[in-house]
Structure 1
Amino acid sequence: MQHRRLGRSGLKVSEITYGNWITHGSQIEQDAAVACVRAALDAGITTFDTADAYAETRAEQVLGRALAGVRRESVEVLTKLYWPTGPGANERGLSRKHIMDAAHASLCRLGTEYIDLYQAHRFDEDTPLEETLRAFDDLIRQGKVLYVGVSEWTAAQISEAVEIADGLGLDRMVAHQPQYNMLHRTIEAEVVPVCLEAGIGQIVYQPVAQGVLAGKYLPGESAPAGSRATDPTGSEFIQRLLREEILERVQRLQPLADEAGLSMAQLAIAWVLQQPGISSAIVGASRPEQITNSAAASGVKLDPSLLQTIDAILGDCVVRVA
């Protein structure tokens, strides 16, 4: 397993991050979750991503128990806040109150004294950005958070946050967590250039497009039983990718993966890791062998001609503008 610096910070993250959106506390039980986390550790993965909103806070609890007994200094624990975690008016968003309350709650659920990377899950239009950034900075000063980042922010929002942090002498963000894969490349035009200039690394989710780029969904056939496409907690995110044209194009990537000695999923992950500004790719798993397979994409270098062929095959199926 290779490691990379997170942007220009001193923090190193594994090229593959284990993420537990959907699975932990929702689809799979504690014993299975522990087995997946152990498989991730055995594969050299040290970076683990979750969020307080996943499975209504249960995902953090499951991850915390799965990592219990693991030497804390040897792993990087990432979590996020923004989405509602309760019925109260202040149990959501990026206000100082919610940030402080949410951070303390996440620390308890994760069973840790500090969070390596604390991320704003979305941008909060109702809270002054300066208030959010000061609260994040206070958590860093208190030693409860080591680094801060954001998820799915626009280039303009990231630029404004960097400018405010620099002007006030606050610790600036070091990471951005967007959706990114061969089929969804909206960050390339504006977000990546802004982040590269600011020294912000991308920790991307859905590198395999929820299994579509792994080739598990075949044109003209029903989705496999038990897949993301049949799961009501995740199906809305995947339905837009299940068009016949997209599935047919994806199947044309299989010979390329075979020639490179990779699985389809490994090809998709290796592709992501070879793009500018990427620090890590988040993968999930409901079975240990899935995380072992994904981890093998670390360190793979794809030939430039192969990258060009992938672009030619996917063509106008690629989403480049949000």
Structure 2
Amino acid sequence: MFPRRQFLQLAAGAAVLPAVSTIAKAQAYPSRPVRLIIGYTPGGSADLTARLMGQWLSERLGQPFVIENRPGGGTNIATEAVVRAPPDGYTLLLAAPANAINATLYDKLNFNFLRDVEPVAGIIRFPNVVVVNPLVPVKSIPELIAYAKANPGKLNMASSGNGSTIHMSGELFKMLTGINMVHVPYRGGAPALTDMISGQVQVMFDNIPTCAEHVKSGKLRGLAVTSTTRSEVLPDLPTVSDFLPGYEASAWYGIVAPKNTPADVIDTLNKATNAVLADAAAKTRFAELGAILLPGSAADFGKLLADETEKWGKVVKFSGARVD
């Protein structure tokens, strides 16, 4: 989760982006406010990402983008609301890794995410960072693997909850290394971080924006980032894939619409989103949080959704993860 204060500062600064309409207002869409539904509570990274994008899209398309929070059911309540909405482009969903993970994590859903939505555009992705409590005698990924193999079941791995991206990042690591760490789920990342710092738990694959300051201050020891490239926020840390080829885990956000939304509406939204991501001010603000932009076509985002659903499905099955 991104720090609330930092994100609110970004939101306040979003107004400096040029309010230039890159889409001719003569077009029929949008002719009224657009709802962008998210499956999370206000104040978190998804909510504030949506509000930034909503403001920027409003400036470019000339209609309000109203952010609607519908938390609950691991984002499934919000997803179902969008899947059941009229396919006219006026009800959109901020898609997140939970959508890819839930396809396997839940035994029964009232929808099939990949089948029932139209990809619109990617927005950002950001990696996690492997951190340990400083009392753990390891300073690198190879040392962590060796220590865990020599002490099976003695390391506790914290997460923000069963099936979360933080949890799944750790399970993917366990799957590829064959090590045994005990998963300890918390109800959110904040209490997990508190216990990490106190030493109640020893290992966590946390979001970079949340724990970067703890790494810089020495309260936690950073070992590596989970993306395939280094992070500008923690540039001294290598990537996990430097030592474990094929490993990659990151959180991401993008926009989807109900199935059968007209192609011209999808195209309008995709072009407007890409125009925002091409703006220098938006690039700077997301880079400050360690986020990587996801520009591209609707088909590009659709491929990411399919790839992530397949990838995390394997990890969920391996881990035996269950919803609370």
Fold similarity call, TM over 0.5: no
TM-score by length of 2: 0.32
As a proportion of its length, which structure holds more strand? 2
Kindly indicate whether structure 1 or structure 2 has the higher relative contact order, using CA contacts under 8 Å at least 6 residues apart. 2
